[in-house]
Amino acid sequence: MGRSTPLLIAACLLSLTGMYWCAANDLKFAINAVALAFAAVAIWAALLEGKNKSAAVAKTAPDWQAAAAQIKTATALSAFVYAWGGVAMFLCYELSALHWQHGWEYGSIMLLIAGGLYAFFRAMNKPGSPLVEPEALNRTMMLSALHGIAAAVALSWLVLSGKLATSKGDWAANAVFMAGGLAIIAICAITVRTHRALTQS
């Protein structure tokens, strides 16, 4: 993922440790701050990588190689965010005393999505992959836009439904949904913006 990788990994490990501690000690407000701190680092990484790709582009012609590299980075970063969310779910609901019957289900789904995104990332990196052709990159960009919209709709529903004020055991999950959703929305938006900057002459 580039120069931001070491900081992103450190933020992930610290965040997961902090979220487990919050879940184990019933720290409902603190867990949101810990989760959002990781999301902020993930968004910063997406901005940094997008800026680096755009800065190297000659403005006279589309740079599809840079566009492919940018989408690869965004895919890997999205996979990282989903993996963080999945691990956080298992730490909070399987290793601490906090209980929510759907914790392992959402955690498993997030890890499956992370695995799928990583498989797509690996496929893009294969020599001669058709996934890095201009038409395929444009389709991937559109899927990224739809991904961001879906995350925004889900996050809006979470906020408007009042579920963030829950007294049930899903308060830790809500922190994961909120922070992870914000990170995915931002990554998708940055992907679309950077792709257009790289491919429009």
**Rounded percentage of the chain residues whose pLDDT exceeds 90:** 80
Q: 76 near 114, Cβ under 8 Å?
A: no
What's the mean pLDDT in 98-103? 92
| C-alpha neighbours within 13 Å on the C-beta side of residue 6 | 1
Q: 75 near 124, Cβ under 8 Å?
A: yes
What's the mean pLDDT in 21-27? 95
CA atoms of 93 and 16, how far apart (whole Å): 13
Band (168; pLDDT cuts 50, 70, 90): confident
Token pair listed for 190: 């940055």
Does residue 8 register a pLDDT over 90? yes
Evaluate if pTM is beyond 0.85: yes
Neighbour-count burial for 137-163, b at 16+ CB within 10 Å, e otherwise? beebbeebeebbeebbeebeeeeeeee
CA atoms of 80 and 183, how far apart (whole Å): 11
CA atoms of 45 and 9, how far apart (whole Å): 11
CA atoms of 81 and 181, how far apart (whole Å): 9
CA atoms of 190 and 198, how far apart (whole Å): 12
Q: 192 near 51, Cβ under 8 Å?
A: no
Does residue 51 register a pLDDT over 90? no
Q: 182 near 148, Cβ under 8 Å?
A: no
Q: Is the model more confident about 53 or about 39? A: 39
